[in-house]
């Protein structure tokens, strides 16, 4: 069974969330941090990064596990409200980075291949650079997600 990696890139992201320097921080939640993804090719792509350095969902105590899933659903609801996608994709793979995290991808019928998984559609090279998260370019999206998520959590 996979174990938590050292160094862990998501633990590094958590440190920037905790110290307030993560530029894509949407909100701190009970079980993790909601952040905008590094690539915004799928506009609104967000992640829930678990505070606990576990690799599998079943490793969390039941109460925390249920709370984490509720918070993933709340983040997804905020993404849906703000971005108005045709469909949302939820992914928790952990093959590359073992630290528990959830991807929320808003999918649109205008995607290059709306029925295919996202990973094969992500642009590469210079094209990828055009879709990187930018605090200035994506400020309105970030604020809308933060505001909406906080309203959902009330």
Which tokens is 143 given? 């604020």
107: alpha, beta or left, given left = phi > 0 and alpha = psi -120 to 50? beta
Which pLDDT belongs to residue 1?
87
Q: What is the pTM of this model?
A: 0.96
Which tokens is 26 given? 């949407």
Alpha helices in the chain (DSSP H): 9-18, 62-83, 125-129, 139-152
CA atoms within 13 A on the CB side of 13: 26
Domain boundaries in the chain? 9-113+123-152
Backbone angles phi, psi at 153, to 5 degrees: -80, -5
Which pLDDT belongs to residue 40?
97
How many CB atoms lie under 10 A from the CB of residue 11?
16
**Under-50 pLDDT residues of the chain:** none
Q: Among 84, 82, 91, 73, which Cα is nearest to 29's? A: 73
The correct CATH number of 9-113+123-152 out of 1.10.357.10, 3.40.50.11810, 3.30.428.10, 3.40.50.300 is 3.30.428.10
């Amino acid at each position: 069974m996979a174990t938590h990696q050292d160094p862990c890139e998501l633990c590094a992201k958590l440190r920037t969330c905790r110290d307030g320097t993560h530029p894509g921080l949407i909100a701190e939640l009970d079980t993790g941090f909601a952040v905008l993804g590094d690539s915004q090719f799928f506009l609104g792509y967000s992640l829930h990064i678990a505070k606990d350095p576990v690799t599998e969902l079943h490793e969390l105590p039941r109460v925390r596990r249920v709370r984490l899933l509720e918070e993933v659903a709340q983040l997804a609801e905020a993404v849906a409200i703000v971005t108005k996608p045709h469909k949302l994709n939820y992914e928790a793979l952990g093959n590359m980075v073992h630290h528990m995290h959830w991807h929320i991808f808003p999918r649109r019928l205008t995607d290059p291949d709306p029925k295919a998984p996202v990973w094969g559609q992500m642009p590469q090279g210079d094209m990828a650079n055009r879709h990187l998260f930018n605090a200035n370019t994506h400020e309105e999206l970030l604020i809308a997600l933060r505001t909406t998520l906080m309203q959902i959590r009330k």
